[in-house]
Amino acid sequence: MLLKNPKQILCIALAVTLAALSGSALAMDLNMPVGVTPMSHDVYDLHMYAFWMCVGIGVVVFSLIIISMIWHRKAAGHKAAQFHENTLLEVIWTIIPFIILIALAIPAARVLVKMTNTSDPDLTIKIEGYQWKWQYDYLQQGFSYFSMLAADSNAARQLDSKINPFSVPHYLRDVDHPMVVPTGKKIRLLITANDVIHSWYVPDFAFKMDAIPGFVNQGWIEVDQPGTYRGGCTELCGRGHAFMPVVVVAESPADYQKWLAAMRASNGVYINPHTLQAENYGSPVAYAPPQLNFVTPSMPAAAATGAVPSTPGPGAAAAPAFTPAAAGPVTKAATAAPEKTWTMASAMARGKKVFDDNCAACHMSDGKGNAAMGVPAIAGGPLPNGPLAAHISLVLHGKGIMPAWGNALSDADLAAVITFERNSFGNHGGGLVQPADIARAKTAH
């Protein structure tokens, strides 16, 4: 009968092992990335040390079981011994694991002490998690900006988008405004959140820290080599959890200074660091930033995504992902200029953009809402067709799963998007809201 014969069982086991090995061979790198920070190297070493220790113990224990299963079978005529205790043996196999654990605990504690030492940083960046985007605040430089999923990924990830994710460069791993850091500097990260708990994670930095509303966590990184490093949110934060990647561009200190200067001079418009470099190096197409994926930094993108034939090469992948700064969405500071006054046309155009970037994730781009999620429709809804004050108040302060947008968007953007909501989707609430109206509504509280 099938599977009664131990030889057959062993053959099957062997076949499974081989299948598993060949299966793994065709995939990408299977191990933890070595990474690009002193910490990630330590963590990798610790991981491999613990791994080989487990393999060693496993080989001993599993061999004993397998030997017993072969030699001590009743079918092979083995007669059962009747021993059932041996104090010496039991003491030995209590003490040996204890010693092994101490051998693991000491290096782990050493790395941990290093990881938690955030003293004497060269610079500090505050990271704030939102549903569903990140805000990077360069505390000593006086500017901050939001970083959200790149538009092409965002379009492709919609249900039934009919866009093949394999055709999107860095699908779900690209943002409009990456965080920029200098290499070789100790950077202290202050991490918090605005609404629910998020977690900021970049595998190549071996750094993961929860962003908790109302509390500020801290940690530090020091990036060895320039490159683009990708990660994401790792604490379940609602519907868009998978769609708020982290992208960090590490630049040489000189290039970083150039970027800082450009940012300070840009009046809040985000400057993509690669466009600065591209100017220095010639044509933008010629510059191919190092393709550093989740895997190892030295690995070319083609190998990292080797199993994915439809992914374009590094150069092609990079070009569309890095839009020139001026074309990108403007950040808070840019439109927050208090003297800004909208015309109906400009408010509607800007409002549509703000709506698509921030509101459409839940309320849908057609404004129909999402009944399954409990998200009301904007189209024909009571607020956009009712009194203006209530509408502004809800957008500013949120309610239930609706986030409070008061601090997340500029007054100008808030005015534009409210204007847009009241005059689109067949709504007849009407009115042209000005940034000053928003400012007044904020101070009224």
Measured at the alpha carbon of residue 368, what is the angle toward residues 365 and 371, in degrees to the nearest 5? 120
Interface residues for other proteins in 167-196 (CB under 8 A)?
170-173, 191, 195-196
H or E, element range at 123: strand 123-130
Backbone dihedral region for residue 398 (phi beyond 0: left; psi -120 to 50: alpha; all else: beta): left
Does 327 sit near other proteins (CB under 8 A)?
A: no
Does 197 sit near other proteins (CB under 8 A)?
A: yes
Interface residues for other proteins in 351-380 (CB under 8 A)?
370-374
Contact 166, 306 (CB under 8 A): no
Specify the residue for token string 């400057």.
Answer: 271
Report in angstroms the alpha-carbon separations of 437 from 392, 415, 418: 9, 8, 11
Does 165 sit near other proteins (CB under 8 A)?
A: yes
Instruction: Report how far residue 413's alpha carbon sits from residue 416's, in angstroms, rounded to the nearest whole number.
Output: 5
Does 214 sit near other proteins (CB under 8 A)?
A: yes
- Altogether, the residues listed in the chain come to a count of 445
Does 232 sit near other proteins (CB under 8 A)?
A: yes
Q: Judged by CB under 8 A, which of 270, 294, 342, 420 binds other proteins?
A: 294
Least distance CB 206 / other proteins (angstroms): 5
Stretch that binds other proteins, among 38-46, 317-325, 405-413, 417-425 (CB under 8 A): 38-46
Strand order in 123-130's β-sheet?
Answer: 143-147, 133-138, 123-130, 187-193, 217-221
Kindly calculate the radius of gyration of the chain based on its CA atoms and give it in whole angstroms: 28
Stretch that binds other proteins, among 134-142, 176-184, 198-206, 430-438 (CB under 8 A): 198-206
Q: Binding marks (x or -) toward other proteins, 45..64, rule CB under 8 A?
A: -xx--xx--x--xx--xx-x
Does 326 sit near other proteins (CB under 8 A)?
A: no
Stretch that binds other proteins, among 75-83, 349-357, 416-424, 434-442 (CB under 8 A): 75-83
Does 341 sit near other proteins (CB under 8 A)?
A: no
Does 26 sit near other proteins (CB under 8 A)?
A: yes
Does 43 sit near other proteins (CB under 8 A)?
A: yes
Least distance CB 176 / other proteins (angstroms): 17
Least distance CB 309 / other proteins (angstroms): 11
Neighbours of 266 (CB within 10 A): 17
Contact 246, 134 (CB under 8 A): yes
Least distance CB 181 / other proteins (angstroms): 18
Least distance CB 380 / other proteins (angstroms): 18
Which residues on neighbouring strands pair with residue 124, listed in sequence order? 188
- Could you tell me how far CA 195 lies from the centroid of its own chain? 17
Least distance CB 320 / other proteins (angstroms): 16
Interface residues for other proteins in 140-159 (CB under 8 A)?
156-159
Interface residues for other proteins in 113-132 (CB under 8 A)?
113, 115-116
| Spatial CA neighbour of 225 closest among 313, 289, 268 | 289
Does 21 sit near other proteins (CB under 8 A)?
A: no
Strand order in 227-233's β-sheet?
Answer: 179-182, 246-251, 227-233, 198-202, 207-211
Interface residues for other proteins in 80-99 (CB under 8 A)?
80-86, 89-90, 93-94, 97-98
Does 1 sit near other proteins (CB under 8 A)?
A: yes
Least distance CB 266 / other proteins (angstroms): 30
Does 235 sit near other proteins (CB under 8 A)?
A: yes
Does 295 sit near other proteins (CB under 8 A)?
A: yes
Does 316 sit near other proteins (CB under 8 A)?
A: no
Least distance CB 385 / other proteins (angstroms): 21
Stretch that binds other proteins, among 135-143, 204-212, 265-273, 432-440 (CB under 8 A): 204-212
| Spatial CA neighbour of 331 closest among 86, 161, 148 | 148
Instruction: Report how far residue 78's alpha carbon sits from residue 158's, in angstroms, rounded to the nearest whole number.
Output: 63
Least distance CB 16 / other proteins (angstroms): 6
For residue 151, which phi and psi values (nearest 5 degrees)?
-60, -40
DSSP assigned state of 149 = B
Least distance CB 35 / other proteins (angstroms): 9
Does 389 sit near other proteins (CB under 8 A)?
A: no
Backbone dihedral region for residue 322 (phi beyond 0: left; psi -120 to 50: alpha; all else: beta): beta
Q: How many residues bind other proteins (CB under 8 A)?
A: 122
DSSP assigned state of 402 = B
Three-state secondary structure string covering 207-227? EEEEECECCCEEEEECCCCCE
